Amino acid sequence: MNSKKVVIVDDDIAILDSLGTMLDFEGFEVNTFERGSEIFNFVEEKAKPNIIILDMWLNGEDGRDICKRLKENEETKNIPVLIMSASRGLEHTAILSGANAFISKPFEIDDIMNKLDQLTA
């Protein structure tokens, strides 16, 4: 059983629920947040996640800015970040923000599991 910890940040409750349920079924310990700003206290105070899945467009927040903050912080810079977006063609800007990988929405569960396996190996 996989006991890797994942944090998912998306302002779409349906995505948080479905992705969280799928990853829980795959054996991940899942924590979800609707606002990017909520993850900073969580990752600094709780056990560090093995990976953060971060939506690029959050309500009033840009996931790329959140990713940059995570990567500039000594405590969180080594946590892999997977940015996801329904806007295609933004992989380059996601990687420039420090993301370790990018996936387009909608995605297949196999595709996201392959990314998670690569990033948490």
Residues 10-43: pLDDT tens digits?
999 999 999 999 999 999 999 999 998 888 888 8
pTM over 0.85: yes
Cβ atoms of residues 61 and 9 within 8 Å: no
Give the list of residues 6+ apart from residue 47 with CB closer than 8 angstroms, or none.
5
Structure tokens belonging to residue 10: 């998306």
Mind listing the domains of the chain with CATH numbers?
5-120 (3.40.50.2300)
Q: At what angle do helices 13-25 and 109-120 cross, to 10 degrees?
A: 70
What are 57-95's pLDDT values in tens digits? 998 899 999 999 999 999 899 999 999 998 878 889 999
